[in-house]
C-alpha cells in the first residue's frame, strides 16, 4: 500500500504513520450505538432458536418463541442462554480491536439488558 506525503504524519517515536483522518475514516464509518445494540439483541435469539429447533422441542417460530418465554423461568435454561451469548463476546472483541467504542457501548448495554431480563424472569 502506498501513501502520498500528505497522508503521512510523524508519531511520538519518529516513525511515519498514515494520517488519522485517512486511516480511521473507514474504521469509524460503522461506529454507532445501533451497530452494537441490534446484533447483540438478535444474535442470542437466533442462536437460541437454532438450538431449540435442533433439539426438536419446537419446530415453528411461534412455538420456539413461546418455549423461550416459558423456559426462561427455569433455572437450567440460564446455562443455554449464556451459551447463546457467546457470539456477543466475539462481536465485542471485534469492536474493541477496531476501536468502535459506540458499538461496544451498544453491545454491552444489550447484553446487560438480556441478563436483567432473565434475572427478572427467574424472580417472577
How far, in Å, CA of 77 to CA of 93, rounded?
Answer: 25
Kindly report, residue by residue over 57-90, the tens digit of the pLDDT. 888 888 888 888 888 888 778 788 888 889 999 9
Kindly report, residue by residue over 84-116, the tens digit of the pLDDT. 889 999 999 998 888 888 989 999 999 999 889
List CB contacts of 13: < 8 A, sequence separation 6 or more. Answer: none
pTM: 0.69
Kindly report, residue by residue over 20-32, the tens digit of the pLDDT. 555 556 666 777 8
Contact criterion met (CB below 8 Å) for 111 and 95: no
Q: Which residues sit opposite 10 in a β-bridge?
A: 16
Domain boundaries, the chain: 1-28, 31-123
Model pLDDT, residue 28: 66
Amino acid at each position: 500500500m502506498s501513501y502520498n506525503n500528505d497522508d503521512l504524519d510523524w508519531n511520538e517515536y519518529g516513525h511515519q504513520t498514515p494520517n488519522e483522518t485517512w486511516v480511521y475514516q473507514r474504521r469509524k464509518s460503522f461506529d454507532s450505538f445501533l451497530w452494537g445494540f441490534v446484533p447483540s439483541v438478535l444474535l442470542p435469539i437466533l442462536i437460541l432458536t437454532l438450538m431449540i429447533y435442533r433439539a426438536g422441542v419446537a419446530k415453528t417460530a411461534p412455538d420456539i418463541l413461546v418455549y423461550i418465554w416459558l423456559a426462561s423461568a427455569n433455572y437450567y435454561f440460564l446455562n443455554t442462554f449464556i451459551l447463546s451469548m457467546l457470539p456477543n463476546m466475539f462481536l465485542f472483541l471485534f469492536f474493541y480491536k477496531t476501536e468502535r467504542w459506540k458499538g461496544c457501548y451498544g453491545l454491552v448495554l444489550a447484553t446487560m439488558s438480556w441478563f436483567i431480563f432473565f434475572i427478572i424472569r427467574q424472580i417472577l
